[in-house]
Amino acid sequence: MAGTDEAEAEVEDAYLVARAREGYLDAYELLVQRHSAMAYRVGLRLCGNHHDAQDIAQEALIAAWENLDRFRADSSFSTWLYQIVTRRALNKVTRGRDAGSLDLLPDVADPGAEPAAQAERNLAVDAVTDALAALPFAQRAAIVLHHFEGLSYAEVAGVTRSTVPAVRSHLFRARRTLGTKLEEWR
Amino acid sequence: MTGPVSEPSSRGQAARQLLSSAALACGADVDLLLEQVADGRATDLDAHQRECVHCEAAIAEFTAVWRPLTELAASHVPAPPGLTAAVMSQIRVLVRDVWYTLQTTDLGAIRIAARIVAALARDSARTVPGVRVALGRSTHDKLAAIAERATRRHRHPHAAVGVLGRTAVVDLAVAVTYGDPVHEVARDIQQHVITTLRDTIGLKTVTVNVTVDDILTND
């Protein structure tokens, strides 16, 4: 089976989505392998803790499969999954769970780093984490999707069912707030 | 937000002051400068910025302030181990499983889930030269329903769902290498998979439908 993994990387998501809709669970499994890290990462950054992030990723990937027939072929699978993950994260956050202990980077420890530098790095991570957690959800989602995930304003607007001017406005406000918080920490 | 910033006094104060202002002393928009830095375009200066000390200072400040965020965004967060397996096992529960009964003896029935047959067929197909990607599917829903109806009267009491006896129908979707003779690769797959399923599971009659729906180049 040598080379199959590389070959599978060549197949586009759209192909796998089409096969998954025809009942090939294998195809969906490949999509899950490709996108589970993203689903978890976004969940983690939006919700703040490992357990919620894992739940969000798992629920979102199952929901995506259950709704494959509603998936529009003109959008990308990842955009669609971002949408589901973001909505699930919003549900979790608004359900009143404590988002005070945001842990954006559980495995930040780098064994090669100097202890002092590592401690400073962790402090920086904590500072960003706290600053992000304090943002209203819409602003946090815009920051995470644009600055962490690299989505364009238009893509963020698509994922959050918003408009480009609204996304831009959320980002302007969020950046000032984050900048002020991080400046205090510096 | 106050008016334009005059002379920044100290470093920390400067950034705070900048962030509470709408524009720099030169008239440059603070939000746009912060956007430029946050988007990683700090060195992408326009004609005004190349000449302006206010813009130069503000960009340097914002770059330092924004750095922890840039570093966090660049850090790798892997999926927790077992996430894919957990998702797929829940999905498999949702999918109605079809079973093949291999043997019914005094000791009881031996059954095997159709998805296992599909997985074995897929792995077997992947070893055929020229096959780049193979996806397996056990009997199509419609076929499964027909088989279930057809075998209902003969169904063994131990079999929970449709019993298809020792006959398997497997669908394979494959992508092959560009330039290889597609019909020959497809026939090789059928023969290889049929032999594998007979030898490893003991299925008697195996039908392997091969759909070649993508051709990949070697680049």
Residues of chain B with pLDDT > 90, as a percent, come to: 37
Neighbouring residues of B218: CB distance < 8 A, sequence distance ≥ 6: B177, B178
Residues of A within 8 A of B33 (CB-CB) are none
More confident residue, B195 or B97: B195
Closest residue in A to B38 (Cα–Cα): A147
Q: What is the pLDDT of residue B27?
A: 93
Among B5, B37, B75, pick the best mutation site for testing chain A contact (most A Cβ within 10 A).
B75
What mean pLDDT comes out for the span B157-182? 68
Among A1, A24, A88, pick the best mutation site for testing chain B contact (most B Cβ within 10 A).
A24
Q: pLDDT band for A120, please (50, 70, 90 cuts).
A: low
Q: Give yes or no for B84 touching A (CB within 8 A).
A: yes
Flag if B12 and A186 touch (Cβ within 8 Å). Answer: yes
Flag if B133 and A4 touch (Cβ within 8 Å). Answer: yes
Distance from CA of A179 to the nearest CA of B (A): 6
CA angle B186, B191, B195 (to 5 degrees): 145
Model pLDDT for residues B60-112, shown as the tens digit of each residue:
999 999 999 998 898 899 999 999 999 988 887 766 666 666 666 677 777 77
Distance from CA of B104 to the nearest CA of A (A): 29
| Residue B52 phi, psi (nearest 5) | -95, 125
More confident residue, A46 or A122: A46
**CA–CA distance, B219 with B209 (Å, rounded to integer):** 28
Q: Give yes or no for A154 touching B (CB within 8 A).
A: no
Distance from CA of A11 to the nearest CA of B (A): 8
Distance from CA of A167 to the nearest CA of B (A): 13
What mean pLDDT comes out for the span A96-123? 51
Q: Is the pLDDT of residue B181 over 50?
A: yes
What mean pLDDT comes out for the span B127-146? 71
Q: Give yes or no for B78 touching A (CB within 8 A).
A: yes
| Model-level ipTM above the cut of 0.85 | no
Neighbouring residues of A167: CB distance < 8 A, sequence distance ≥ 6: A142, A146, A153, A156, A157, A160
Q: Residue B134's beta-bridge partner residues?
A: B174
Q: Is the pLDDT of residue B44 over 90?
A: yes
What is the per-residue burial (b if ≥16 Cβ within 10 Å, else e) of B154-185? ebeeebeebbbbeebbbbbbbbbbeeeebeeb
Q: Please, what's the largest Cα pairwise distance for chain A?
A: 55
Q: What is the pLDDT of residue A107?
A: 41
**DSSP 8-state class, residue B29:** B
Among B1, B66, B69, pick the best mutation site for testing chain A contact (most A Cβ within 10 A).
B69
Q: pLDDT band for A104, please (50, 70, 90 cuts).
A: very low
The CA distances from residue B37 to A135, B32, B47, B63, in Å, are 20, 9, 17, 6
Q: pLDDT band for A115, please (50, 70, 90 cuts).
A: low
Model pLDDT for residues A47-67, shown as the tens digit of each residue:
888 999 999 999 999 999 888
